[in-house]
Amino acid sequence: MIINRRVQTLDEFTIQQMRDFPHATGELAGLLRDIGLSAKRINVEVNKAGLVDILGDAGTINVQGEDVKKLDIYANNQFMGVLKHGISCAGIASEELDDFIAFDDPVSNNSKYVCLFDPLDGSGNIDVNVSIGTIFSVYRRITALGTPATIDDFLQPGIKQIAAGYVVYGSSTMLVYATRRGVNGFTLDPSIGEFTMSHSNIQCPPTGRIYSVNHGNYFQYSKGVQQYIQRCQQKTKADGGPYTQRYIGSMVADVHRNLIKGGIFMYPSTIDKPKGKLRLLYECNPFAFIMEVAGGNATNGTKRILDVEPTELHQRSSFFVGSKNMMEELEECLNLDL
Ligand code: AHG
Ligand code: MN
Ligand code: MN
């Protein structure tokens, strides 16, 4: 019998990575397997969202005062259930939970990782059949093994991430994750129900031609941000242009495209949202980590995102992430705001 070994599944890849580290316990591989399993279950529901009574508001407001869609809750429950019953996670924090949860049983208390996630990102797009996603971030806990995870395990700066990734439920479903060793993308093969390696060692092109920002907020942005947007609009062929503007409203889909093709994604603070909209711990940090490993940069406008010391779970931040050269030009413009 000839077995096709050319296409590696996510599990095969994470296990192969472990073989390079003789002391690895396999816990991270187990955690990624659990995240992949949750994503596959969420994918099934996302795909039939137009068919069953799963659309629309769940009728509650989450901790940040936003409408909670039914799929947000479904996705959150999937992650909670799978990670709680797995053996690789001491606790979780999520956009949909007011506070973190320490799983607090003998096995979980001995797990070395905690996980933060945005179970469904871009959920405003569910009802209109536009790509949505999931974002996750993994830290090694800093409290003692054998005890329940505490808030200190979750409030670590992004630079301490062990792994970060996202799932995009799009024209195909993809899981992309980064460790310090690289960024790799896996596309769900529906015929075998497995994520299979499709994008190995992803590098973000240093210069791109795409800028992604909500133009509707233009007059609410700082002078520096406005200046950068104008520069994007003024690019000619001679200086690598013309640029193109793309903004889906699902950060996962927007940043995924820019990671692959080269580009910049911005969600600056506005007059209405002076602290920004996106959440530092489970939206900005994971993408900052992925982008840096892929050769790009991420800032909040004054500081590298990964160096920000978080003070609360649902902390917001302005966010700029993308191709290295574009980020450098952005920073020149942001100096205007200092
Ligand atoms: P979420 O669905 O988790 O609340 O996140 C939505 C986020 C992000 O994905 C997207 O880029 C941004 O909100 C869009 O916001 P605007 O509509 O204000 O541009
Ligand atoms: Mn989100
Ligand atoms: Mn969300």
- Residues in CB range of 79: below 8 A, 6 or more apart: 35, 38, 92, 94, 115, 117, 119
Residue-wise pLDDT tens digits, 163-189 = 999 999 998 999 999 999 999 999 999
Ligand nearest to the CA of 67: 1
Residue 165 shares a structural domain with residue 81: yes
Identify the residues whose C-beta falls under 6 Å from ligand 1.
Answer: 66, 95, 118, 121-124, 214, 249-251, 277
pLDDT at 22: 78
Residue 172 shares a structural domain with residue 288: no
Distances (CA, A) of 3 to 9, 13, 123, 200: 14, 17, 40, 21
Q: Which of 72, 76, 116, 278 has the most ligand 1 atoms within 8 A of CB, as the residue to mutate? A: 278
Q: Which residues of the chain have pLDDT under 70?
A: 1-5, 50-59, 62-68
Among the three residues 199, 224, 242, which one is the final residue of a domain in this structure?
199
Among the three residues 167, 199, 231, which one is the final residue of a domain in this structure?
199
Q: Which domain holds residue 178?
A: 10-199
Give, using CA atoms, the residue closest to atom 19 of ligand 1.
214
Residue 233 shares a structural domain with residue 318: yes
Residue 216 shares a structural domain with residue 195: no
CATH number at residue 246: 3.40.190.80
Ligand nearest to the CA of 251: 1
Give, using CA atoms, the residue closest to atom 14 of ligand 1.
249
Residue 188 shares a structural domain with residue 238: no
Do the bridges between strand 297-299 and strand 194-199 make them parallel or antiparallel, or are there none, so unpaired?
unpaired
Concatenated DSSP letters of 125-167: GGGGT--EEEEEEEEE--SPTTS---HHHHS--GGGEEEEEEE
pLDDT at 7: 87
| Residue type, position 139, single letter | Y
Residue 154 shares a structural domain with residue 245: no
| Domains held by the chain: number | 2
Residue 281 shares a structural domain with residue 173: no
This prediction's pTM = 0.94
Ligand nearest to the CA of 76: 3
The DSSP symbol for 304 reads B
pLDDT at 156: 98
Q: Which of 79, 277, 317 has the most ligand 1 atoms within 8 A of CB, as the residue to mutate? A: 277
